[in-house]
Amino acid sequence: MYTLKSKDGEARRGEIQTSHGIFQTPAFMPVGTYGAVKSISPEILESIHAEIILSNTYHLMERPGVEIIKANGGLHNFMSWDKPILTDSGGYQVFSLAKKRKITEEGIEFNSALNGNKLFLNPEVCMELQQAYGVDIAMALDECTPYPAEISVAKESMHLSMRWAQRSRDAFQSDNSSLFGIIQGGVYKDLREESLDILKKIEFEGYAIGGLSVGEPKDDLQGITSHIAPLMPANKPRYLMGVGTPLDIVKAVESGVDMFDCVIPTRHARNGYLYTSEGIVKIRNSIHKNSLEKLDPNCDCYTCSKFSRSYLHHLDKTKEMLGSTLQTIHNLYFYLNLMRNLRAAIETGTLQSFVKEFEITWNNPSNPNIDI
RNA sequence: GGAGGGGUUGGGGAGCGGUCAAACCCAGCAGACUGUAAAUCUGCCGCCUCGUGCUUCGAAGGUUCGAAUCCUUCCCCCUCCA
């Protein structure tokens, strides 16, 4: 499934084969929680060269429900996207919907936010759902350990995730899709190593680092990632879940991570927070009201090639749907383009200088337009 | 001409003797957002020398310890009847 094409330091340039085609790594997966990347169509996704997207097992289970997706011929057909799809298991919802769920050894009980119905998710159900959706990459059910967590709590939580990982593996049977295990262990390196060892013994088609970017300091995010990524199997994909800012991603690629997903480009786009070659542009701010400039003079995306900042500002202020669409196109283009540039840098062995250059804009406290 | 109802801080609109610089919504200004309960949320939004400070609720008088709130006159607006 994974083919390594070249390396530059720890960084890896590769590609991953799925039954819905190949995608290049390092890869960024736009998030389409409910089977749609918010505000843009699959056609647009293809036009900005998205090669794989992420969707969500739990949210799709709640709405529209697995039966409707099955009746539509699977998730690809349902949403008319014929490239690879990865689904998160719902493990993150254990964390983000903390007030609405109960965790036991057996699984997770959710109280639906929609109608109060009791929903139940355990590794077996979770695997069954993801296989019924027909996704290319399924994730093991895990508990995303919150931050901060005492070492004893993080350890117990990690071990639960590992038992669930074994059950996920046992329940997952498929010839044309893959299952990834998820490393937990909070900000504790020894727990992370232990978690990885357990998962390696179980054997998955890929391995993910979970439970990061949940509020921990940047040093922990980078520290844990750079520590654990190089220890992950070299012949399989490495996926850092839920990360992150452009700088987070660049750093993690340097550490040898292959796959990313994050709501930042899409959610921030809808909130008028846009990534450009010069830093952040908050298009909602009044300073852009009269600007005839392009959003990013160095960007080739549809939004930047056709519209002025004052138009984007206007769309955002009037809450026109087109504003969300154009801004999402731009932010995703920025992310996908960044991944392209990273891949090219690894291929040519110039990642170090690429990162240095990147940090001039994105890791410079004296630049007001950044997001460290 | 007759009968009623109104005029409140940018707009809409509460308040109807003290707890009112005055709810709430919109607009405006800024901030947040990392495996999406998020096209969402938070803060600010009369003035200043920032305080038991000042000036506000159509205008001017009055009652009262105290008025956006009660009374009088005036000026506008709206509805209905002629």
Q: What is the pLDDT of residue A209?
A: 98
Catalytic residue among A8, A88, A142, A248: A88
ω into residue A30 within 30 of 0, thus cis?
A: no
Q: CB count, 10 Å around CB of A314?
A: 16
Q: What is the pTM of this model?
A: 0.95
pLDDT band at A372; cut points 50, 70, 90? low
Give nucleotides in strand B with any atom < 7 A to a protein C-beta.
27-41
Q: What is the pLDDT of residue A18?
A: 98
Question: pLDDT per residue over A318-343, tens digit each?
Answer: 999 999 999 999 999 999 999 999 99
The ipTM (two decimal places) reads 0.93
Question: pLDDT per residue over A6-22, tens digit each?
Answer: 999 999 999 999 999 99
In the three-class reduction of DSSP (H, G, I as helix; E, B as strand; rest coil), residue A100 is classed as helix
Q: What is the pLDDT of residue A117?
A: 85
pLDDT band at A368; cut points 50, 70, 90? confident
Q: What is the mean pLDDT of residues A79-106?
A: 94
CA/C1' separation A57–B10 (Å)? 48
Greater model confidence, A366 or A134: A134
* Whether the predicted pLDDT of A55 surpasses 70: yes
Question: Looking up tokens 């709640």, which residue turns up?
Answer: A62
* Whether the predicted pLDDT of A369 surpasses 90: no
Catalytic residue among A136, A261, A296, A316: A261
Q: What is the pLDDT of residue A115?
A: 82
In one-letter notation, the amino acid at residue A142 is D
How far, in Å, are A149, A238, A370 from residue A8 at the CA level? 35, 16, 27
Q: What is the mean pLDDT of residues A296-315?
A: 98
CA/C1' separation A148–B63 (Å)? 65
**Helix ranges restricted to H, chain A:** 42-47, 57-62, 66-71, 75-79, 91-96, 123-133, 151-171, 189-202, 218-228, 246-254, 264-270, 302-306, 309-317, 321-347, 351-362
Greater model confidence, A347 or A118: A347
**Is A88 marked active-site?**
yes
> Counting beta carbons within 10 angstroms of the beta carbon of residue A353, is it exposed (0 to 12), middle (13 to 18) or buried (19 or more)?
exposed
Quick one: tokens of A106? 């057996």
DSSP state at residue A83: S
CA/C1' separation A286–B78 (Å)? 38
Indicate the average pLDDT of chain A. 96
Question: Which of A197, A242, A238 is closest to A215 using CA atoms?
Answer: A242
Report how far residue A119's alpha carbon sits from residue A287's, in angstroms, rounded to the nearest whole number.
Answer: 47
Question: Which of A84, A80, A74 is closest to A51 using CA atoms?
Answer: A84
Q: At what angle are helices A218-228 and A246-254 packed, to 10 degrees?
A: 30
pLDDT band at A69; cut points 50, 70, 90? very high
CA/C1' separation A140–B61 (Å)? 81
Which nucleotide has its C1' atom closest to residue A97's CA? B37
Question: Which of A273, A250, A260 is closest to A330 using CA atoms?
Answer: A273
ω into residue A148 within 30 of 0, thus cis?
A: yes
Which nucleotide has its C1' atom closest to residue A90's CA? B35
Report how far residue A64's alpha carbon sits from residue A265's, in angstroms, rounded to the nearest whole number.
Answer: 25
In the three-class reduction of DSSP (H, G, I as helix; E, B as strand; rest coil), residue A49 is classed as coil
Greater model confidence, A368 or A178: A178
Quick one: tokens of A169? 């593996």
Answer for the pair A195, A162: CB distance below 8 angstroms, yes or no: yes
User: Which of A80-84, A101-105, A192-196 comes out lowest in average pLDDT?
Assistant: A101-105
Which nucleotide has its C1' atom closest to residue A218's CA? B34
CA/C1' separation A313–B35 (Å)? 31
Nearest residue (CA) to C1' of B39: A270
Q: What is the mean pLDDT of residues A47-69?
A: 97
Question: pLDDT per residue over A27-45, tens digit each?
Answer: 999 999 999 999 999 999 9
CA/C1' separation A314–B27 (Å)? 14
Percent of chain A with pLDDT over 70: 99
Quick one: tokens of A33? 């929680």
Which nucleotide has its C1' atom closest to residue A95's CA? B35
Question: Which of A358, A351, A354 is closest to A7 using CA atoms?
Answer: A351
Question: pLDDT per residue over A147-182, tens digit each?
Answer: 999 999 999 999 999 999 999 999 999 989 999 999
The residues that bridge with A139 in the sheet, in sequence order, are: A180
Question: pLDDT per residue over A211-245, tens digit each?
Answer: 999 999 999 999 999 999 999 999 999 999 999 99
Which nucleotide has its C1' atom closest to residue A112's CA? B37
In the three-class reduction of DSSP (H, G, I as helix; E, B as strand; rest coil), residue A258 is classed as coil
